[in-house]
Every structure is written in C-alpha cells, then in structure tokens.
C-alpha cells in the first residue's frame, strides 16, 4: 500500500510540474527576458546567527533547540560550474555542486549533486551486546529544473544515481513551489513540496536487517515513501548588508519511515508524532 501511495504521489508531482510550467511559462513570455549565462555568474554569501527551536524526529539528525549558525550561499563561474550551501531553507537544503547547461526563458537546467539523506545512527543489539548502528549520508547525481516567474519559483529534481556504495542505487525526486510576497519593507515567502525516496534508500536507513534484529527492534523491511513539507518565512532589511529573518518549517514523514522500530521507539519515548518542525530567528550579514 505504501508503495502504491508513493508512486501516486510521484505521478501527481510530475503532473503538477507540467501544469505549473505551462501556466507560468505564458506569463513569463510577457514579463521576463531570457536568462543568459552572464546573468547567472557570480553569487552571494549570507551568514547568520540566531536561535532555532525544533521538534526532532529520528528520521532527521540529532539537532535540537539552541543557538545556531546559519548559512545560505551560492557562486557560479562563467563556464556554468556552481556550488550552493544552505542549512536552514528547505528549498535547496544541503551542499550541492553542479553544472548549469541550459537556460531558456525563465528556466535554469542543471546537472547537480544533492543529498538524498543525512547520516543517522540508532541504538541496537548485536551478538547480545548493545551497539550503535551507523548509516552514512547519501549523495546523489541527477538533474534539476528551476523556473522563475515573477514572484513564483517552481523546481523539480530527479536523481537516479547514488554515491553510497552500501546499497544498490535508489531514486530521489522532489517537487517544490515557492511564492514570495512584498509588504512595505518586509519580504515574505511560502513554499510547499514533495520529496520522494525509493525503497532502496529508505530501507538502508530505517530497515532492520534480520542479522541485527532483536526483541526491542524486530526485523523490518520498508517500502518507498513521500515526505510532504511546507515552510513560511519573512525577511526585513536592517541596513544595506544586515537582515532580520524568521521562518517556520514542517515536514510529515511517510509511514514507511514512521513504522520503523527505531523511529517508532524514539517517537514514543519523546512523545512525538510523525512530523518534524522547526522555528528559527536570526540576524544575517549579506555580502
């Protein structure tokens, strides 16, 4: 059932992308000029300090609430090579390098590396002794299409090749729609997205193999799953280079992850349900 649901969500994502692309593309022809390689050269760095309050789920990392450093940066060379780093925005979260190879009106197409999942570790038993089961992070290679139309951004990523050699190649796909608004000096945004991970990826992180299964953590084999996420945020310029920011983001994990014995035990102990949320407040410097 989870596999059928995941495939249905992925089909909806693809159809939504095509519909949004066709509708937004008509408006883009009237309101935007063609993006050329020179317009994409250069970049920016935004460094911030602030506080984040989160309700972590073992489907994520161990980061909880407290003072934090924030970064959002991008730089592209004239030949199309680029690097990106973001550790608090959901859209393009993580570290990526890529090559921008095609820029029709309102669109950017890239070959890109992306993180399909961060590293995790879980408590467990092996040979009747307590131990920690560690899972490496997964970097993948794929393609990304980003369409920008007035104040709306649509992005689709598809990655079929994994650099993690501990399991057979899986598939990662995501669809995001981001909308920004302006009210006096406040810039506000809202986005929502679907993140699909195939059975191979989810089973590597959240499955319990027979050889390490125990009474507390019985054997468990997962299916594919689709994560549903949303984020809202606001930015206010304090000066030419300083900016105040705040955001709230929410993700609901698929049942294939929440039903994992490792995740279920943690959520029960911490009185969590199958979601991850985070509120952040920061002051950032842009250069």
Which of 11-15, 117-121, 249-253 bottoms out in mean pLDDT, i.e. has the lowest? 11-15
Q: Would you say residue 64 has pLDDT above 70?
A: no
28 band by pLDDT with thresholds 50, 70 and 90: very low
Return the percentage of the chain with pLDDT > 90, whole number.
64
pLDDT of residue 199: 96
267 band by pLDDT with thresholds 50, 70 and 90: confident
Q: Would you say residue 85 has pLDDT above 60?
A: yes
Q: Would you say residue 2 has pLDDT above 60?
A: no
In this structure, are residues 213 and 263 in contact, taking their beta carbons and an 8 Å threshold? no
Q: Would you say residue 35 has pLDDT above 60?
A: no
Phi, psi of 201 (to 5 degrees): -70, -50
DSSP string, 83-102: EEEESS-STT-EEEEEEEEE
Mean pLDDT for the chain?
84
DSSP string, 109-164: EEEEEEEEE--EEEEEEETTEEEEEEE--EEEEEEEEEEEETTEEEEEEEEEEE--
Pull the structure tokens for residue 143: 């393609």
Alpha carbons 37 and 78: distance in angstroms, whole number: 7
pLDDT in tens, 181-200: 999 999 999 999 999 999 99
Pick the closest to residue 106 from 27, 9, 222 (CA basis): 27
Neighbours of 57 (CB within 10 A): 22
pLDDT of residue 126: 72
pLDDT of residue 25: 35
């Amino acid at each position: 059932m989870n596999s059928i649901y995941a495939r249905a969500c992925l089909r909806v994502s693809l159809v939504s992308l095509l519909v949004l692309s066709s509708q937004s593309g008509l408006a883009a022809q009237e309101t935007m000029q063609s993006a050329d390689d020179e317009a994409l050269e250069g970049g920016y760095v935004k460094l911030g300090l602030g506080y984040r309050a989160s309700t972590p789920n073992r489907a994520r990392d161990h980061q909880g609430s407290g003072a934090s450093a924030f970064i959002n940066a991008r730089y592209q060379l004239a030949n199309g090579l680029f690097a990106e780093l973001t550790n608090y925005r959901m859209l393009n979260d993580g570290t990526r390098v890529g090559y921008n190879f095609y820029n029709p009106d309102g669109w950017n197409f890239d070959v890109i590396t992306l993180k399909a999942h961060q590293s995790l570790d879980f408590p467990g038993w092996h040979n009747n002794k307590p131990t920690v089961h560690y899972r490496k992070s997964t970097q993948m290679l794929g393609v990304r299409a980003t369409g920008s139309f007035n104040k709306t951004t649509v992005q689709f990523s598809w990655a079929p090749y994994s650099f993690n050699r501990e399991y057979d190649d899986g598939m990662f796909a995501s669809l995001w729609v981001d909308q920004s608004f302006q009210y006096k000096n406040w810039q506000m945004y809202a986005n929502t997205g679907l993140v699909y991970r195939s059975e191979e990826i989810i089973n590597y992180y959240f499955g319990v193999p027979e050889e390490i299964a125990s009474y507390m953590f019985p054997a468990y084999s997962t299916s594919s799953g689709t994560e549903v996420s949303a984020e809202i945020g606001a930015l206010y310029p304090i000066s030419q280079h300083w900016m105040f920011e705040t955001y709230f983001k929410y993700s609901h994990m698929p049942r294939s992850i929440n039903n994992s014995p490792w995740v279920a035990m943690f959520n029960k102990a911490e009185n969590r349900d199958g979601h991850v949320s985070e509120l952040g407040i920061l002051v950032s410097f842009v250069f």
